[in-house]
Amino acid sequence: MSAVQDWKSVVKSDYFTAAISTGIACLFTNPVEVIKTRLQLQGELSGKSVPKIYKGPFHAAYVIFKNEGILALQKGLTTAILYQVVMNGIRLGSHSSFKQLTGAIDPYSTPFFFFRNLLSGAASGALGTHANPIEKCSGWLSTSIQWCHRSFQRNHSERGYSRSLERI
């Protein structure tokens, strides 16, 4: 095997390991994200005479589980995993390659090790952020959701609006 083939296999295995680990972590953190999003939406709408459905995060988890089932806590899981796999897979998977490029391998014999390592982390973080197509669309998606909420609130009753908020 040549050095280029070795480097490509290391990059592939690093990306694969990072992608799998962030995807698995997303399985456990997605319910927290669902609860957080619902509480944030409720907070944004609290001044608009919409009744409060959730009293706190634990109550929100209980109400969601009771009314919608356990799978409701995993809403949006596919998109969340895709986002994490692409962004953090690239970010964490490319970090060791950037460390090799900058020479930040051995902290005891490398001059300016801290700054080389800092540069490696910044480069891999920037690559992961700018290479993710989902990140590019997230601003548009959140704006569209806010527009949808405002439009629904203008055109429908508050009771129907609060009922739709329960379904999110």
9 Cβ contact partners less than 8 Å away, ≥ 6 residues apart:
1
The winner for highest mean pLDDT among 15-29, 37-51, 105-119 is 15-29
Task: Answer whether residue 132 shows pLDDT above 50.
Answer: yes
Here the contacts of 158-161 (C-beta below 8 Å, separation 24 or greater) are: 158/48, 158/49, 158/50, 161/45, 161/50
Instruction: Write down the pLDDT at residue 57.
Output: 93
For residue 32, name the pLDDT band (cuts at 50, 70, 90): very high
pTM of the predicted model as reported, rounded to 2 decimal places:
0.64
Q: To which residue do tokens 């390592």 refer?
A: 117
CA–CA separation, 23 vs 59, rounded Å? 27
Mean pLDDT of 68-84: 86
Nearest to 149 by CA among 40, 36, 35: 40
3-state class of 65 per DSSP? helix
CA–CA separation, 66 vs 115, rounded Å? 52
**Cα-Cα end-to-end distance for the chain:** 52
